Each structure stands twice: as C-alpha cells, then as structure tokens.
Structure 1
C-alpha cells in the first residue's frame, strides 16, 4: 500500500467540486444534434485556408444561446443569511482546457472568453489555440491558479467562500457559464452526469457517424452528443429544454460560418 498525497492541482479540484456539491443542485441532460452540414462546411473552409474549429463554433453557439436565454446565464450565490440570483448583464464563457504540466500531470484550467456571442469564429479559434499551445508558465491563468494552489488551507476556504458569495469575485475567475473543450470523435461518452459551479455549462460528448431516419430513409449522419449541466436551484426542466431546442438552428445549419466581417444570418 502506498499513500499518495493530493497534488496542489487535485486539492484545488477537490475544493471546487466540494463547493459545487454543497451550494448547487447540478442536473445533467444529454441532447443530440445533426451536425453533418456544419462539419462538412468546416472541413471545406479549412481546405481553403481558414483557421477555425468545432470547439470555437460551440463557444460561439452557446454564447449566442446565453443572449437568447439570459436566465441560463445567471448564477446563484450564497451569503450567510440569504441567497442571491445574479444577472451578470454580460456573457463570458469559461472554457475548460486540458494541458499537461512539465511533470506529466494532466491539469485543467479555465480560460475566460469574453463576449463570445459578438466575436467571429476565427477570432475565438485563434484565442483557444493560443491557450492550448503557448508555454504554460506564460499564461496569466496558470500563473493565477498556481498562486491559488499554494494557498494554505484556510486561504483556500476563504477563496471558496468568496467564489460562492461575491459575484464580482466569481466573475473574475469563472465567467458566466461553462464549456468543456474535450470534444471526441468516433468514440467517447454519450451521456453522464457532472457537478458544476455554474448556472449552466456544456460538455461535448462524442461526434460520430450514426444511422438516422431522414425523409423516410435510413442515412448516415454526423451526430454530436452534447450534455448540459444546469443548476436546478435556478433552472427548471423547461428552461433547459427550450434553450437546447434553440441551439438546433445554430448547430444543424451553417449560419455560424459567416466570414469574419459578416454577421450570421
């Protein structure tokens, strides 16, 4: 038997999830989208030299969804004797990025993508690529979280208290909603459940070819599984269902692929 102490990274993850478990009521739903046309258009755009990706498209689409369904973009805060429902009146996507530390440990860190609903796919993709390829020590997010991970226990608990009670403090570190960047192709998760500290968050599952009935015929289409994690203290089932229905025209058409100097129709 070997006793392996938590690394500072795992201590931070533990505190983050413990806060989510105690102060939020995370429920998860899984939806599927036919992204055949979207994927084909992305591949065509890439062949013509355009630097874009599906994760950037998901950032844009979910940002536009937050604008259309502002309640999905809110957050519940807990103070000593009262609960607060906060409308941030801005949209900021917390994209969870997976990188490998110099010692080989996998680390997750949040990247704040401001105003994704107003930005081009190209601009969003370029920023994501920077965070996935730049030297880790050069990233302000890593520098900030390295400082947090070095906090003694009482300071970590103070950080957790501020994150659950102070909207301005929370917004600085965690944005207004969440999205995972870990999209997989051909094989991967098709469902599941998660804890989250956000009012709403999105977890791409697997993107793969599947049979589907279309106009009475069985055809092969590219289907994307997308999990949504919602805080049931804030959102009810119909809130989530309406929002995920309104995501269909964004993902099942090519309207998001407008050139950088144009707006989606």
Structure 2
C-alpha cells in the first residue's frame, strides 16, 4: 500500500485498529495548515513499533480522530551513535539538532566546558526539533536527550566499550575520521562523537578527553568550522564508516 505524504510522531504505542486522538499543535497543523479531510490517510510512528497507516475518522473542534489501519514498516537496525556537545546559541543549536537527528544520532548529551557560552537549553524546544526532523526525514525513531552534565563527570562515567571520536581542532596533523576509524570498526560496535564549543576545548580538557582509552582523536581539516558545521561533517563522516 502506498504511504501518505504526511507523517506524524505520536507518543502512544501503536497497534492495528486502535483510535488515536490528535490534539493541540498537531491538530492545528492537520486541520488548518494541511486541511485534511475525512477518510484521508496519515502515516504515524511511535518510535517503538514502526510506522503505521491511519485513516481520518472525524475532524472536530478540539481533536482529530484517526484509526490505525496496518503497519507499513518496522524500525530498522540503526547505528548507536551519541552526540556529545557544548550548547551554542539557539538558532545554530536548532540547526545542529535537526541535522544530527536526520543523520541518525541516537542520543544527545549536552556538556558544560570551560568555554561554553550558552549553558541553558530549552529542552522542550529541543525535543520538538528532534521530532520534526524525524518526521521530515522518514526516520522511525526519536533520539534520547540527556540533562546537561559537566565534562569531567562525563569522562569519569564514560563506558569503555564505546568508541569516542574526539574532533580536536587544536591539532590539524591528526588523521581524518575515515582514516582513523576504518580499522576500528571491529573493536567498537557503539560510537560517540564529541564536539567542543565555539571557543574550543581548553588544553586541560583536551588532555582529559584524550585520557580515555576509547578516545580516537581526529581532525576535520585546516579550516575553522562553526560548531553546527563541524557536527554535521563529523556525523556524516562517522556514519559513512560504521554503517
């Protein structure tokens, strides 16, 4: 069966024949922006069971009632890649969230560093951006989002069975991501990448990160990249090797 062009994430676990009540912003979007009609089809996914075809049963003032028809897709096996990052200004943070979600990041871990200039995160907005990016990119899962932690706490509790790609802007003589990881994919099945703030990591922080046994230091080239650009470039390069 052909899938509809409209996809929505719902937090309720989906199964055949159940009714789903769409409210608030999603209700406004379907009713007033897309102007859906009764009997229209909408694809739904819950991040747990896959993607399902639904049919519009009724359009009401406060909600839209959908009935689940049948499953369209199961959730495929996805790479386990964390993004560890220092928060940046909201506009560029939104870009980072969207691109990282589209590229398959499984978990976001915000950290506080010496040069972090934006310590507060709007977690509600962050989650909405993740959901929207998943809806638009045909992704069937939603990344998890951790609370902000200090870099030292992250390092102290970092799992030894997870490779850590350290994009070290302080050393351009390091290997590229491809050259550094091509022989490491058998050693680690789970990965993470750490990106510093606009001011970079301090010398002490660089030593702290590099002290991890699973740390693999890499260079993103000679150019100085903004954090959102560096994040996108790094994730794409890592995924091209590990997927």
Tell me which structure has the larger Cα radius of gyration: 2
TM-score, normalised by the number of residues in structure 1:
0.23
Could you state the TM-score of these two structures normalised by the residue count of structure 2?
Answer: 0.24
Q: Relative contact order (alpha carbons < 8 A, sep ≥ 6): 1 or 2 greater?
A: 1
Q: Higher helix share goes to which structure? A: 1
